[in-house]
Structure 1
């Protein structure tokens, strides 16, 4: 209505001009000849509606959800098939955020005192599993997990990030908030986060002092460039190495750039002014690590700060220095391909083809992407993560069924162990997602567990490097990057199998009195108000639908194939599982046992571990 009102003057002008031209054509106003009626021009044909066929079969739906979530459920696949994937992703973008910090606080109410103990240190892990398995905002949770491996902080070890779960909880909330926002804003938020400042040692970073030889800490400045934004070498938009006129690779920065950038991140520390002096030490520390850092001008470098061709003038304050630095970093040409390639690796394929990287990098650069139904997402600002993740998931390389052989043969990724476990829990409708009662989930880094623990990589380089090429392997012989193979070895492969077998078969339900007493003793030592008997009912899978198919093993395998392997399981694997499981008698509890064996064999098969 507002637009219609604005156009009325223009319509009146056009009408007046039309009358003048009509009078002129008739030789003035003296003619009595009637004006012949003018037929209106034919209306243009209505455009054909754009049909989003992404979910046109159960196979396509299951495959998309495997890439975009912590794993599909059977009912979810059936419900979404023949609907619009564009609608699905828009709904995912709009779902509310459930923050981690309130849930961590709730867990800690079970602890009798505020001192650090094993239980309180694990509360961030508890909230991660709850979000990954039960969260409706599955795409956000997958993006948070992906970003946590790109912008790494880690609670591994016995430092503050291990002892103060609020630090990592607040960091996860930052990733939650910005998962569908802008990468530039995300870089700013993590720069002011106590977790990152502690992990990369610029907490309390002070300006240089020539008299004592003190220089600003360079750790964050180095990793901000090397790992969080542009990498070491210049990239083309398709992620391949750029070269100069002499056909040599181009190094993007040197140590002088790091020294200049390090000055930017001086004068940041915990916001002590917001601490309540009436609180005990542990309560104060928890609060200070769950709010943004404060600026301390007296500790900030007032000298000129130069890096990557940018000169920040002397006496520029902390906030302005950081803003200018991050804006300049985001303006670099390598940011889009560097970030885009790694995000592709975390969702769809470990070795993305250059044309795939370029298309996603263009969406990152332009800040916009057109969905299959014609709608656009993104705010037209470089670094838009909605546009980026949509470009990743809807790219022809991720969706087309008739890719060139070379592309198809190299497409796919190793499902990360954390995702495999969460997928099992989601696929089989696990009841009582209560990791606080399931001690094997408190620490899953070991080779006898998952070999991977969320938000706990061993270094700032993540669990594995994005450019990792496995030596002495078929993929290595083809120079394919497969990062996840860096944590798969002769120990972690059987370790994962045993770990999953314990959960799939309900090992927790078989805990005897002595084992329960040991768990209770641990709770009591940490003064945690928990009853170990709840462990018997924690993470209970519901195999009702699968048990109904236990006598029809081909039908059972068809269902598992859809839910777990996107109908990509080979005929040989299916037959092998059927032949093995058929040896188990169906009588008594045999039906459930058959189902459990079939699930374990599927979860540990190459058909499942390799997501194609």
Structure 2
């Protein structure tokens, strides 16, 4: 049997054995929360924490966290400076390099895999799936500098204040292009020109308050008839659309036309008062008086959305879904939403993060990662807890776990766009629409998760084609068939264990599945590895491929 054939056959054995999803009976009623997380961590606990908080841990990362404790780790991450993609792009532009979407794809992979500010990068990526701007828009693809700036806005927002992020997004050229409010004009007297409503709708529906009124813990509020209460009406959209009129490129003397300077691609949009609607604007119980200046109108509108009672639970739930679990309890959402409102959170060592201002993201992130439900070891065997690992995160985990230190996509062009089901079915900043790759409330019809009343967002891009595509995609990189110059792993630690299949699998279990590999899976992988004779590297690659295509790995708990 060929080397590739041996690996594929072994992987098929494991995939066949791990296809079951376990008992997904209805979750029991919520009880009192487990005790809060402590600063101390075992290596398995550290591996699990880093799987939620980074683009994937290496063995050194795991050992470092176990030694320092989670409080020290979080404070160190919050203190790290942001690594700017925009600065890299501007340097490339100055040197004459033609920067486009491919270069920004490379920039994302490089930041995700090699950046030291891992928590910031991971949370920024999570925010980018709420505040979606995508290269699938052909006009935005023509403005890569604007998109580089937008990627930095997401990373800055990871540890900033939500209100500032909301403002940065609103004045971002990238978002204005994507949601078509760049050069949005006030209505004319004849009624032939009306303000574009795209951003007004999506800033409410997707970026702040959602469609339905929520309790502080995220539960949908009901009216006297037992029906959900909508948060806004079409009149609110029409009125709010007036607010987002008059914005155009910076460093221009006139309203219409394209950007004239490189700086205008990344500088915040500016207000052209003559194009801003002077009319009164009434929405969500807020009224902006007539003739209020444009920037002031926007500030009032954003304050109203930021201070809306829906915003803390709506945003908190989605961030929990992106980092920890698809189906957080009401208590979990409520505790994180409370941290959003308070703007501070007490770490296990007694110190505090957050400055006490509503929407301080450091408090929100700490509350998500250190919540008792996130850290409860019993949840590692609970079929109702956890999430599917996004394909992007599976790939970055492999690269980080096995020491990839060169991320030039010239030698791995497949990484310039991994959106196809035959690849990863996902590429950062290339979601098919403003609704992200998958909806936070997605339920797969006819599935066990649906029968259990659970949502599973990532299943929306999980198909027969994408499952096979992911396995083939990872096989190419794990077996080093993509390039011999870039994305090259260092398997030296694993090769040292290759002759002892059990020790090798236990080592991979610690790094990839934080000690949760099922006995059945472990036995089958060991058996498959032992069937491969002679070549130590072949044995290692087979074990890694089988681990990373197993249900034990695909489901993050």
Give the stretch that moved more between structures: 239-248 or 300-309.
239-248
1:396 to 2:372 alignment: yes
CA distance in 2, matches of 1:55, 1:249: 43
Deviation at 1:178, TM superposition (A): 2.1
**Is the partner of 2:282 in helix, strand or coil?**
strand
Q: 1:282 to 1:557 in 2, by over 3 A?
A: farther
Deviation at 1:102, TM superposition (A): 2.0
Structure 2 regions of 5+ residues with no counterpart?
A: 1-35
Deviation at 1:431, TM superposition (A): 2.9
CA distance in 2, matches of 1:425, 1:431: 8
Q: 1:437 to 1:163 in 2, by over 3 A?
A: farther
Q: Which residue of 1 aligns with 2:245?
A: 266
Q: 2:116 aligns with which of 131, 136, 149?
A: 136
Q: Which residue of 2 aligns with 1:19?
A: none
Q: Which residue of 2 aligns with 1:209?
A: 188
1:507 to 2:486 alignment: no
8 Å contact from structure 2 (residues 438, 458) kept in 1: yes
Q: 2:543 aligns with which of 594, 598, 610?
A: 598
**Under a length normalisation based on structure 1, what TM-score does the superposition of the two structures give?**
0.82
Q: Which residue of 1 aligns with 2:42?
A: 57
Q: 1:458 aligns with which of 407, 432, 457?
A: 432
Instruction: For residues 191-221 of structure 1, give each alpha carbon's deviation from its aligned partner in whole angstroms, at most 9, with x where no partner exists.
Output: 0000000000000001111214311111000
Q: Which residue of 2 aligns with 1:584?
A: 532
Q: Higher relative contact order at CA 8 Å, sep ≥6: structure 1 or structure 2?
A: 2
Deviation at 1:75, TM superposition (A): 1.4
Instruction: For residues 380-399 of structure 1, give each alpha carbon's deviation from its aligned partner in whole angstroms, at most 9, with x where no partner exists.
Output: 22211111110000000001
8 Å contact from structure 2 (residues 442, 455) kept in 1: yes
Deviation at 1:549, TM superposition (A): 0.4
Q: 1:76 aligns with which of 50, 58, 61?
A: 61
CA distance in 2, matches of 1:340, 1:52: 19
Deviation at 1:400, TM superposition (A): 1.8
CA distance in 2, matches of 1:72, 1:315: 54
8 Å contact from structure 1 (residues 431, 542) kept in 2: no
CA distance in 1, matches of 2:320, 2:37: 22
Instruction: For residues 403-428 of structure 1, give each alpha carbon's deviation from its aligned partner in whole angstroms, at most 9, with x where no partner exists.
Output: 698xx331111010111100000000
Q: 1:440 to 1:110 in 2, by over 3 A?
A: farther
Deviation at 1:55, TM superposition (A): 3.9
Deviation at 1:130, TM superposition (A): 0.7
Matched ranges for 1:567-582 at <5 A: 567-582=515-530
**Under a length normalisation based on structure 2, what TM-score does the superposition of the two structures give?**
0.90
Instruction: For residues 4-34 of structure 1, give each alpha carbon's deviation from its aligned partner in whole angstroms, at most 9, with x where no partner exists.
Output: xxxxxxxxxxxxxxxxxxxxxxxxxxxxxxx
Instruction: For residues 95-143 of structure 1, give each alpha carbon's deviation from its aligned partner in whole angstroms, at most 9, with x where no partner exists.
Output: 011111121234456766x5xxxx7331111111111000111100011
Matched ranges for 1:371-382 at <5 A: 371-382=347-358
Deviation at 1:556, TM superposition (A): 0.3
Q: 1:222 aligns with which of 201, 218, 222?
A: 201
CA distance in 2, matches of 1:453, 1:190: 21
Number of residues paired by the alignment?
521
Q: Which residue of 1 aligns with 2:82?
A: 97
Matched ranges for 1:483-502 at <5 A: 483-502=457-476
Instruction: For residues 468-503 of structure 1, give each alpha carbon's deviation from its aligned partner in whole angstroms, at most 9, with x where no partner exists.
Output: 011111111111011000000000001000001001
CA distance in 2, matches of 1:109, 1:494: 42
CA distance in 2, matches of 1:263, 1:414: 40
Matched ranges for 1:124-523 at <5 A: 124-157=104-137, 159-273=138-252, 284=260, 286-402=262-378, 408-509=382-483
Q: Which residue of 2 aligns with 1:527?
A: none
Give the stretch that moved more between structures: 186-195 or 427-436.
427-436
Structure with max Cα Rg? 1
Q: 1:573 to 1:109 in 2, by over 3 A?
A: farther
Instruction: For residues 554-593 of structure 1, give each alpha carbon's deviation from its aligned partner in whole angstroms, at most 9, with x where no partner exists.
Output: 000011001011111111111111111111112xxx1000
1:539 to 2:487 alignment: yes
8 Å contact from structure 2 (residues 343, 357) kept in 1: yes
8 Å contact from structure 1 (residues 274, 288) kept in 2: no
